[in-house]
Amino acid sequence: MLSFFWVHSLKANNKYRVIIMTDMTHDDGNSLIRYLYYAPHFDLEALIITPQLPDYNHDDEAPWHKAQSILEAYQREELQLRKHHPDFPTYEALRKVTKKGRGALPIIWLTKERQFSGNIADRKVESSWGEIKFSDWIGEGNTPYGEPKDSGGSDFLLTIFDKKDDRPIFVQMWGGSITFVQALYRYRESRGQEKFEQLLHKLHIFNIHLQDITIDYLIDLDQVKSLNCLNMGETTATYEGERVAPGWFLFDHGHFWKYIKVMSDKEVKGHGPMSDLYDNGGEGDTPTFLYLLSAMRGLNNPLDPTQGSWGSMFHPLDAKFPKNYYATCKVEEEELIRWTSATSNSFKARLQWSVKEPNAVNHEPTAVLNGDSTADIVYLKARPGEKVTLNAFGSSDPDGDDITYHWFYYQRASNYLGEIKLTQTGKGIQSFSIPKDLGDSEIHIVLEVKDQGSPALVSYKRVIISNDHKK
């Protein structure tokens, strides 16, 4: 349940507090490039870079250099981008929060393979490793590589955890979970259980495929394996302590693969120094922040992953897991790819910021529902059989473009199992009757407002209708 205080603090700041954990493998660089075009909307607390097998060995500097080259390209675009939005962070500010983590562990489905030989994004990769056990990598002392388990990255995360800021922290787990888990371990040991539990309550972790075996600290890998939805190879749980649960924990078990092909490098290149670094490795980690971007555009509540968003839809895991654990298991891939036209157009429009002036690019329209122009979800109560009227009057486009309306019943996000028939879905006003068998269910109706600019951009308003038993 989203507390009033957290709703208030999200609105007051109007930015999302985020941590990015990345291994800078084949697709992470492209995700970072896209992320930086939306940087004004986030408070980036930390960008932690941890080498991960099979792509990189523990002492390989390539992941660090790859991230630095992207940040340096950003520096060359910084002044131009700030013409479009004054809150683009400085290059120095980004460098200040970019730190090295400690690695490397194999990606989770290769843990027991002991070796890898093959091509990864047009690069020949050969690597090998020994037995992987949680206690060898997290805790006191050194790793099997002879390096301290603590690192500059995990130490820096402690300073983030200590901040007097009650906003949720959205952790984007692109890779390198080992560094994040070591930071959690160290925080618990050095700050005590009470502060640790306060921190956990703020953490909202979005995993792309769980990454490495240290995530066992937060979710029982044997139980995950029993779901039969995630490729884990022969991985087994090796953590022997009591697991801890953050504010929420979700993982995409495979939908993210659709973002490996969602944009071609030819579509992106030619828009400045950052775009020239975009390659054909895809953007598998991009859904972790698309989830937040669509919340800014009115599609979803950022603290309710069941609603469906640009980052896909998540269902609660069964009773073996904490109640705030979610996954894309048994969710159709359509719940991610249905939005790709909107997300790709949004990125294409942002790319133009690097080469055009503000008055020469398209901007998102404003969606208004029953007079509400905020990004907040609208909650309505109505009696079964009652006629409800929704209107989009006041919706507009800042560039003066014509706009179109599209209303739809988001059935997969609703828990009402029947049909809701909407008529004149392309008009500015929509009326329909609440079904007589609504009971305690909820109905989700989404208004999409699209402009006629190039590329066409969208905003949303969602209304959730429930039974008014008091009427």
State the CATH number of the domain containing residue 416: 2.60.40.10
Q: How confident is the model at residue 119 (pLDDT cuts 50, 70, 90)?
A: confident
Q: What is the pLDDT averaged over residues 412-430? A: 94
Which residue range(s) make up the domain with 14?
4-354
Q: Which of 354, 381, 398 delimits the end of a domain?
A: 354
Q: How confident is the model at residue 123 (pLDDT cuts 50, 70, 90)?
A: confident
pLDDT at 7: 45
Percent of the chain with pLDDT over 90: 91
DSSP state for residue 324 in the 8-state scheme: T
Q: What is the pLDDT averaged over residues 284-300? A: 98
Is residue 209 situated within a structural domain? Answer: yes
pLDDT at 99: 98
Q: How far apart are the first and last CA of the chain?
A: 25
Is residue 428 situated within a structural domain? Answer: yes
277 and 386 in a common domain: no
- In terms of Cβ atoms closer than 10 Å to its own Cβ (0-12, 13-18, 19+), residue 338 is middle
Task: For 294, list phi and psi in degrees, rounded to 5.
Answer: -70, -30
Q: How confident is the model at residue 121 (pLDDT cuts 50, 70, 90)?
A: confident
Q: Which of 354, 377, 398 delimits the end of a domain?
A: 354
Is residue 295 situated within a structural domain? Answer: yes
170 and 264 in a common domain: yes
CATH number where 124 lies: 3.90.245.10
Task: For 336, list phi and psi in degrees, rounded to 5.
Answer: -105, -50
373 and 278 in a common domain: no
pLDDT at 234: 86
Give the pLDDT confidence of 124-153 residue by residue, as tens digits: 889 999 999 999 999 999 999 999 999 999
110 and 196 in a common domain: yes
Is residue 138 situated within a structural domain? Answer: yes
Contact 354, 77 (CB under 8 A): yes
Q: Which of 304, 332, 354 delimits the end of a domain?
A: 354
Look at the block and give the residue holding tokens 């291994």: 23
Percent of the chain with pLDDT over 70: 97
Give the pLDDT confidence of 181-234 residue by residue, as tens digits: 999 999 999 999 999 999 999 999 999 999 999 999 999 999 999 999 988 888
pLDDT at 5: 39
Average pLDDT, whole number, for the chain?
94
- In terms of Cβ atoms closer than 10 Å to its own Cβ (0-12, 13-18, 19+), residue 417 is exposed
Strand 325-327 vs strand 248-252: parallel, antiparallel, or unpaired? parallel
Is residue 252 situated within a structural domain? Answer: yes
Structurally, the chain folds into a number of domains equal to: 2
Q: What is the pLDDT averaged over residues 45-54? A: 97
pLDDT at 9: 45
Collect all residues with Cβ–Cβ distance below 8 Å to 251 and sequence separation of at least 6: 206, 207, 208, 209, 210, 219, 230, 326, 327, 328
Give the pLDDT confidence of 25-48 residue by residue, as tens digits: 989 999 999 999 999 999 999 999
342 and 387 in a common domain: no
pLDDT at 12: 44
Q: Secondary structure of 41-67 in the HEC alphabet? A: HEEEEEEEECCCECCCCCCCCHHHHHH
At position 393, the amino acid (one-letter code) is F
336 and 378 in a common domain: no
Inter-CA distances, 92 with 22, 24, 96, 277, Å: 19, 20, 6, 20
Is residue 359 situated within a structural domain? Answer: no
419 and 399 in a common domain: yes
Residue 378 is inside which H or E element, if any? Answer: strand 378-382
d(CA 104, CA 101): 9
16 and 142 in a common domain: yes
372 and 303 in a common domain: no
369 and 350 in a common domain: no
Is residue 212 situated within a structural domain? Answer: yes
404 and 298 in a common domain: no
338 and 373 in a common domain: no
Q: What is the pLDDT averaged over residues 3-24? A: 70
d(CA 328, CA 336): 10
d(CA 121, CA 15): 34
Contact 428, 267 (CB under 8 A): no
Q: How confident is the model at residue 471 (pLDDT cuts 50, 70, 90)?
A: low
